[in-house]
Amino acid sequence: MPRLTLRRKIMACCIGLVAILVILVVVFVRHELSETLLSGSLTNGRNLIAGLAARGEHSILTEDYVSLLEMVRSLKGSDPNIAYVYVRDHGGTVLAHTFAGGFPSDLAEVNTPAAGAEWSQVLLDTVEEGPVYDIAVPISHGRVGFAHVGIWLHRIQDTISHFTVVLIVIAGAVLAMAIGLASVVSWIVTQPVQSLIQAAEKIRDGHLGHQVMATSKDEIR
């Protein structure tokens, strides 16, 4: 195994420390971004569906399902992260929904808020669209029905992936600059030592008058 020179050891230490720091920063930023985007999207979804539940109660009680359908469709188009919206009565009958191909029969009973709960959410793994958070809000404490909204996760994941790529590019640039800086620093630190080694070799060879010029006022001079 070849012996590492002092210069290479200094470069390895500097580059290693910078690389570890860069990796930690990328992992931390990605984690925080994931938590922030997911939390913000779910909070927005809960607020939107709670608003629909409040507005749609009168339409359900008066059996004005045309107005209820308009509200549901309007909410679906208000946010690209929304996968679907539907409203069901307390008996489980779906009154309005945004599914173009018909309402999936197995979706109606997957998420029902507990008595007294303001909302509940369940992570669903759909085959076509990937993971979706189903958020349910009771209408008049569940006596009238429940309003549901589905929040896509793939859009959040795409955003996270995009920013991760940007972070990796920036990290690569920082690491490249660190390599250049480590090379310069290692050269500055080891050059006086190299000069002393060369002087010692000349003196050993009989050149007793050889001198080393001091180029700095630090510990090595």
- If one compares 9 and 207, the residue with the highest pLDDT of the two is 9
Q: Burial code of 201-214, b = ≥16 C-beta within 10 A, e = fewer?
A: eeeeeeeeeeeeee
DSSP bridge pairs for 131: 125
Pairing of strands 130-139, 145-152: antiparallel
199, pLDDT greater than 70: no
The model scores a pTM over 0.75:
no
163 CB contacts (<8 Å, ≥6 apart)? 29, 30, 33
The pLDDT of residue 213:
59
Q: What is the pLDDT of residues 30-53, one digit of tens each?
A: 888 888 888 888 899 999 999 999
Domains within the chain, CATH numbers bracketed: 27-159 (3.30.450.20)
Q: What is the mean pLDDT of the segment spanning 1-27?
A: 77
Instruction: Among 80-84, 91-95, 183-187, 194-198, name the one with the lowest average pLDDT.
Output: 194-198
Distances, alpha carbon 65 to alpha carbons 56, 70, 99, 114, 185, in Å = 9, 9, 16, 26, 74
